Structure 1
Amino acid sequence: MVTTQTAELLAVLQLRQSGSFTRAADTLGLTPSALSKTVDRLEKRLGTRLFERSTRRVVATADGERFIAHARRIIDDLAEAEADLRAGRNAPHGTLRITVGTAFGNQLLLPVLPDFLAQYPEVRLDVSVTDRLVDVAGAGYDLALRLGPLGAADRLVARPLAIMPRKVCAAPAYLRRHGTPAHPADLARHQCLSVAESENADQWPFMIDGQPQWIGVSARVAVDSAESLLSLALAGGGIVRQSAFLLQPALDDGRLIEILQPWRANDTLPLTALFPAGRQHQAKLAAMLDFLAARFGGERAAVRPTDHKR
C-alpha cells in the first residue's frame, strides 16, 4: 500500500510539472493509460478531482494544488530521510521552500542567496517571491519571511530577525510641482501613496512637540506591491513612506529626497521569519535562519511560538 501511495504522489507531481499525461508518463516510464488509471484511482479515493483535463493541457484544480503541496513535502521528506541515513550525518541538505514579499525578496534576499548556496552546497532553494498571502504550512513552505505586522492565523513559530526603519520621500519633480511640505500637517494637501490594504496605510507617525503623533493622509493611489509603489514615487506620483532599504539607492543618487526629517518618528517595520513548529530542528532551516540573522539581524533572536500565519 505504501509503495502504491508513493507512486501516486510521484504521478501527480510529475503530471503537475508536465501538464500532459503523455510527457509525464514518458518521464515516469509508464504508458499514458497506466498513468491516467493511477490518477483516476487516487481521485476516486479522495473524492475530488485533482486535475482538469483538456485535449491540449492538464491543469491542477484548487484541491489538486493543495494535495500537490503535501505530496511534494512528503516526497522531499522521504528523500531527506534516506539521505540522512546514508550519509550518517546532519549537514544541511535537501530542498528548502521559502516564500517572501517582492520588495525584500528582490532587493535584499535574492542578492545574498548565492553566498548561502556556496556555504551549503547540498541545499536546494525553492523561492516564491510574491506579495500574495499564502498558507505557509498548508502550501508546503518551510519558511516565510514577513516584513511588517503579522496577521493572526494558525500557530507558527516566529523568529524576529531585524527592525527596518521607514522614511518619507518624494521625487524632485513632484516637489517642484507641488512644493515641499514644511510640516507633517501639510501632508493633507499632498498626494500620498500607500500599499493597498496595509495596516495604518493612511496614518503616518511623526514626532511633533516632542510627542509621537499620527497624521492622517489621503492616498489617491494605492497599489499592492511595494516595488510598484516605489516606481510610482520615482515617476513623481506622490509622497511615499517606505522601508529605508528600498528607498536608499534612490536617495543616494538623488532620484528621491527625504522630507520632514525634523519630525521623523521611530517608524519601523519588523522582519520576521515564520515556520511550522518543529521545523527549526531541520539542519537546512536552522542554517538559513542563522544565515539571515547574521546578514540582516546582527545579534541572533530567540525562537518563540506565536499565533501568526502570514
Structure 2
Amino acid sequence: MYSVERFSGVRAFVAVAECGSFNGAAELLGLTPSAISKAVSRLEGSLRVRLFQRTTRRLKLTADGDLFYRRSAQALAGLADAEAELAHGKDVPAGTLRVDLPILFGRTWITPVLLSLGRRYPELELDISFNLQGVDLFAEGIDLAVRIGALQDSSGLAARSLGQQHRVLCATPAYLDMHGRPASVADLANHECIAETRRGRPQPWPYVDEAGAAQLFAMKGRFRIGSAEVLADAARSSQGIAMLPRWFVASELRSGQLEPVLPQLFNTSLPINVLWARNRYLSPKIRVVIDELFRLYGTNPPWEAL
C-alpha cells in the first residue's frame, strides 16, 4: 500500500524528470526546491535505488529511474483521466488520449478522425505521435495505436482488424520504356529497384511465385529511402521501380503516370489493426475513437477500394 508521503514523492519525482530540474518541478508544484529534493530523496530511500544521476551541471535519469518514470507517469496520467471522467460525466470523453500511428497511413486516414473528435469533445486532449516502427504501448504510455503488418507481441493488448493495406510494384512508363518491362522476378536484377528502409535496413519485396509459394525478393539498388512519400517521389520521377501502398498512388495508376510491374506476382497486402490495453473497463476517450474508426471504416475501408 502506497503511503501519502510516497505518493507525494512520486509526484515530485515525475515533475523533476519532466522539468529537468528541482527548481522547475518546485515552480510547477508550488513547493520549494528543498521540499522537492527531500521528497525525491525519501522516495529513493524507500525504493532502495538511485533515480537520478546528479552533477553540478546536469540531472539525468538512471536506468532504474527511466523505468520508474515511465510507469509512474502512466499511473499519474491514469489518475488524471479518472478525475476528468468523474468531473465531466462517465460517458463523456475527457483527459489526454495518447495515440501512436504509422506516418503516411495515420496522417491520411486516422488523424482527420481524431481531430474531428477533438472538435466534438472539448474536454478531450490529443497527444499524437508517428512512428515507422511500433513503440511499446505500456512503456510509452500509449492509449491507442494503429499498426500495419503482422503483430509481433500483442500480449496484454486487444486488437481489432481495420482491413488491409494493399501494395503495388510500380514505375513510370518512361522508365519502363527505357529499361524494359520485367517479365519475371529474375529480370528485376537488371533494374533500378528503390528500397524502402526501416531502421536503416532495406525491406525485401514479398511476392507469390508461380507455384503459389510466398517468397521475398532482396533488391540491391542505389536508392534506399526511409519515407514512403519520398519513395513515391522517386518512382514518379522515373528513378526506378518501387513498392508502394496502392491507395497512395491510385490516381497515378488510373491516369497511367505509373504502371504496375509484375502485378500477377507482386500483389501483397498487410493487415491493419487498432490496438489498446486489454482492460475490463474501456475509458470513454478510447471507446469513442474505436467506435468512430469502425463506424467510418469498418465495413468498407476506402483505402481498399482505391
Cα deviations by residue, 1:245-281 (Å, 9 ceiling, x for unpaired): 3334665787x61322652655211110112211662
Matches of 1:13 and 1:252, distance apart in 2: 53
Q: Residues 137 and 275 of structure 1 are in contact (CA less than 8 Å); yes or no, is this contact kept in structure 2?
A: no
Match of 2:21 in 1: 20
Q: How does 1:61-210 map to 2 (within 5 A)?
A: 61-152=62-153, 154-171=155-172, 174-175=175-176, 178-192=179-193, 193-196=195-198, 201-205=203-207
More moved, 83-92 vs 172-181: 172-181
1:12–1:279 distance in 2 versus 1, CA, 3 Å = farther
Amino acid of the residue matched to residue 275 of structure 2?
L
Amino acid of the residue matched to residue 30 of structure 1?
L
Task: Specify every segment of 5 or more residues in structure 1 that has no aligned partner in the other structure, as ranges.
Answer: 301-310
Q: Does 1:270 align with 2:271?
A: yes
Match of 1:246 in 2: 248
Aligned-residue offset at 1:126: 1.5
Matches of 1:232 and 1:280, distance apart in 2: 47
Aligned-residue offset at 1:183: 4.4
Match of 1:304 in 2: none
Q: How does 1:206-217 map to 2 (within 5 A)?
A: 214=215, 216-217=217-218
Aligned-residue offset at 1:227: 4.3
Q: Residues 134 and 147 of structure 2 are in contact (CA less than 8 Å); yes or no, is this contact kept in structure 1?
A: no
Match of 1:284 in 2: 285
Report the secondary structure of 1:168's partner residue. Answer: strand
- Higher percent of residues as strand: 1
Match of 1:9 in 2: 10
Cα deviations by residue, 1:208-242 (Å, 9 ceiling, x for unpaired): 59x57646342435455544544554555432112
Q: Does 1:50 align with 2:51?
A: yes
Aligned-residue offset at 1:33: 2.1
Identical aligned residues as a percent:
35
Aligned-residue offset at 1:182: 4.3
1:47–1:244 distance in 2 versus 1, CA, 3 Å = farther
Q: Residues 168 and 263 of structure 2 are in contact (CA less than 8 Å); yes or no, is this contact kept in structure 1?
A: no
Matches of 1:219 and 1:106, distance apart in 2: 30
Matches of 1:59 and 1:187, distance apart in 2: 50
Q: Residues 165 and 272 of structure 2 are in contact (CA less than 8 Å); yes or no, is this contact kept in structure 1?
A: yes
Cα deviations by residue, 1:23-42 (Å, 9 ceiling, x for unpaired): 22112112222212222222
Amino acid of the residue matched to residue 8 of structure 1?
G
